Amino acid sequence: MSILIAGGAGFVGVNLVRVLASMKQVLLVYDNESRGNRELLPNSSNIHFRKVDLNDIATLRSLVKRDQQNYGDITEIWHLAANSDIPAGIADITVDLNNTFLSTVNLLRLAEEFKIVKFLFASSSAIYGDLKGAELREEIGPLLPISNYGAMKLASEALLSAAFEKFLKRLCIFRFPNVIGIPATHGVIFDFVNRLKSNPSELHVLGDGSQQKAYMHVDDLVEAMLFIRDEDTNPLSLFNIGPSDQGVTVRYIAEETARIFGSRPSIHFGEGNKGWIGDVPKFNYSTEKLKLLGWTPRLSSTEAVKKSVKQIVSQIAGERP
């Protein structure tokens, strides 16, 4: 028996793969290496990497057929593949359409054709849009995302829900907060460290720094997903995942990154409380439902930022973690 992990060579993917591999699972990692990289995967004879474009259904079909022959039936599909460059997806609708949504369509086609009835999906808090400080519980609406990324995550949730009605027996929808840690491939801390590396005396920040968001360390995220998969007795699990606090500001992240990086740059802020179109300035993200299920994160947003900055500074300095 095996588990298929789409987008498994990306940031969250390799962390999930590491944990599942430690449980002796046979893992099929399908990834186009757009941001991810097979070099980031742990060394294990149980991990089988396939470079493949999730928009190419014919190749996917033949890979799945062959992999099932070699490694046994696929019992679950994890879908972690997505465009992770939000502004690029806003500039061109095709980016999130193909990478964030049509990837879901094709994985669902595979699931139905190959009778794989367990599906786990990395959704996002971006599906909520900008609800002006309202508490973002799973039961809130209307859902009006303000980026194509958020829109295509919501579209994916919707299609998975219809598939659950038709043939899926188990569906987990995880709504991610901002996730940080290593191996970093993108994101605010990664950007700040790279900018400080090329110019340690100045740091330019998009927006006025007042944007406040919940940050979670990837180790906590992976633990939460597996907890929900294994502990929730409902066949359809839909959970916000995030820290228990209301997050930290971009200003805090900039200052903390500079401090840990060890330089004393002058930090320049931009205007407005949005880093870019599609950026949500303030988040009031509820994780009560997950708490009620019995799981709480180890790290707060502040602690996750501190830990991740240290890890990313080391990563970019070229030290393998």
Biggest alpha carbon–alpha carbon distance for the chain: 58
204 backbone dihedrals φ, ψ, rounded to 5°? -100, 130
Q: How far apart are the first and last CA of the chain?
A: 31
Query: Closer CB to a second copy, residue 72 or residue 235?
Result: 235
**Whole-number minimum distance, CB 109 to a second copy, in Å?**
7
CB of 204 to a second copy, least distance (A): 24
Give 108 or 248: the residue with its C-beta nearer to a second copy: 108
* Contacts of 214 by beta carbon, 8 Å cutoff, 6+ apart: 125, 177, 178, 242, 243, 245, 246, 247, 283, 285, 301
> Which chain residues interact with a second copy by CB under 8 A?
90, 93, 97, 101, 105, 108-109, 127, 129, 138-148, 150-152, 154-155, 157-159, 161-162, 164-166, 236, 238, 277-278
Select 33 or 138, whichever has its Cβ closest to a second copy. Answer: 138
The residue (of 152 and 258) whose beta carbon lies closer to a second copy is 152
- Angle in degrees, 0-180, between the axes of helices 57-71 and 103-113, rounded to the nearest 10: 40
d(CA 193, CA 312): 8
CA–CA dist 148, 136 (Å, integer): 19
Q: How far is the CB of 294 from a second copy (least distance, A)?
A: 20
**Closest CB to a second copy among residues 186, 276:** 276
Q: Residue 144 CB, nearest distance to a second copy (Å)? A: 4
Q: How far is the CB of 245 from a second copy (least distance, A)?
A: 23
CB of 240 to a second copy, least distance (A): 10
Q: Helix 188-198 vs helix 301-316: angle between axes, to the nearest 10 degrees?
A: 40
With beta carbons less than 8 A apart as the criterion, state whether 192 and 312 touch: no
Beta carbon nearer to a second copy, 100 or 301: 100
